[in-house]
């Protein structure tokens, strides 16, 4: 267990804002997490992984809880599957790299996303046609009401698009400590996303391995997104809006080439396309800018304040609303 007071968060979250936390507390076991919660029962606490999906708007006058639980192990194996238990503090991409090296399939499309195992299920991270929920079997989380670790089935977590019960009704109840993922020995390579279809056009899918897909995903991401450490950012700042079929029909009349994806809830329209069509690409407020290669990302070019980022985000939302009548929802959490 490690506790630090009045700590700068400049290198503890990916946006790189110069803010401070009253306390930063790291734990290496579920028991240490329990001890910390009891010790700081009179203060506000916030679990934090890599800090890759949040924007600190001011100094945090509470306790940031960071998991240093970083182990992974195989729990169960059948002819077709391997179940892997991973602790919450393990960097997700490190886990995926290990699994891909063993040609265990299911998570390779999530490669190169900054963040931890624990945060991946809270956010239900997704990329290139795959979401965390597709491979999650069980989540273990400390219940802050009982101070016991509860075993939660994947179906009980109500995973949705960039969402789960851990972000809503369970936000102040549970802290994720371990996750069991189900990986596959053969097949199960998801190549439906347009970018991957282009990469593997004409390739015999049966010859591909998990690492082939992982390497392709990493190349695509590096061509479009700023590297962590190059510019501060929180990855995708907005979620892709899902609109009613009738609304989309009107939109398609005006913009016949609008990209879209049919879902059970309606039609999903890429937020990046809406932002670019609204003329926001390259827009800047102070040192915050809409990323030139992927307008879904807002970056800190150096010395940006949280006010710069929030104003830029608001201007992007207003532009999209004015042109398309569509509301963009933030994916990034304001703290």
User: Which active-site residues does the annotation give?
Assistant: 162, 236, 331
CB 289 within 8 A of CB 315: no
CB 244 within 8 A of CB 262: no
- The single residue listed with the structure tokens 């990046």 is 272
How large is the C-alpha radius of gyration of the chain? 20
The tokens of 142 are what? 């400390």
Cα-based distances in Å from 310 to 78, 94, 212, 228: 49, 31, 38, 20
Which burial class, exposed, middle or buried, applies to 167 when counting CB atoms under 10 A from its CB (0-12, 13-18, 19+)?
Answer: middle
The tokens of 206 are what? 């049966």
- Residue 216 DSSP SS3: helix
The tokens of 74 are what? 């195989």
- Residue 10 DSSP SS3: coil
Distance, CA of 265 to CA of 96 (rounded, Å): 30
Distance, CA of 206 to CA of 217 (rounded, Å): 18
Distance, CA of 136 to CA of 153 (rounded, Å): 9
The tokens of 238 are what? 């907005």
- The single residue listed with the structure tokens 């290990």 is 98
- 28's CB contacts (< 8 A; 6+ apart) are 1, 68, 69
């Amino acid at each position: 267990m490690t506790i630090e007071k009045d700590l700068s968060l400049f290198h503890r979250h990916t946006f790189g804002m110069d803010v401070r936390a009253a306390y930063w507390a790291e734990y290496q076991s579920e028991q240490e997490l329990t001890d910390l919660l009891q010790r700081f029962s009179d203060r506000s606490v916030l679990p934090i992984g890599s800090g890759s999906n949040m924007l600190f708007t001011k100094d945090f006058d509470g306790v940031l809880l960071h998991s240093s639980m970083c182990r992974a192990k195989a729990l169960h194996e059948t002819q077709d599957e391997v179940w892997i238990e991973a602790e919450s503090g393990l960097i997700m991409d490190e886990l995926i790299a290990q699994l891909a090296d063993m040609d265990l399939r299911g998570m390779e499309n999530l490669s190169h996303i900054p963040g931890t195992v624990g945060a991946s299920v809270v956010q239900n991270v997704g990329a290139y046609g795959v979401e965390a929920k597709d491979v999650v079997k069980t989540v273990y989380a400390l219940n802050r009401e009982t101070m016991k670790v509860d075993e939660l089935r994947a179906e009980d977590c109500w995973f949705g698009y960039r969402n789960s019960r851990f972000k809503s009704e369970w936000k102040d109840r549970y802290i994720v400590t371990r996750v069991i993922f189900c990986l596959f020995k053969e097949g199960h390579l998801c190549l439906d996303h347009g970018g991957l279809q282009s990469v593997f056009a004409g390739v015999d899918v049966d010859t591909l391995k998990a690492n082939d897909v992982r390497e392709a995903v990493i190349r695509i991401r590096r061509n479009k997104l700023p590297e962590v450490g190059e510019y501060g950012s929180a990855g995708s700042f907005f979620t892709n809006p899902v609109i009613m079929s009738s609304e989309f029909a009107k939109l398609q009349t005006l913009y016949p080439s609008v990209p879209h994806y049919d879902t059970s809830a309606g039609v999903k329209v890429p937020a990046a396309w809406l932002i670019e069509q609204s003329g926001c690409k390259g827009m800047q407020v102070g040192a915050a800018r809409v990323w030139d290669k992927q307008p879904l990302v807002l970056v800190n070019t150096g010395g940006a304040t949280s006010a710069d980022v929030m104003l830029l985000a608001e201007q992007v939302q207003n532009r999209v609303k004015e042109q398309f009548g569509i509301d963009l929802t933030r994916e990034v959490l304001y703290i």
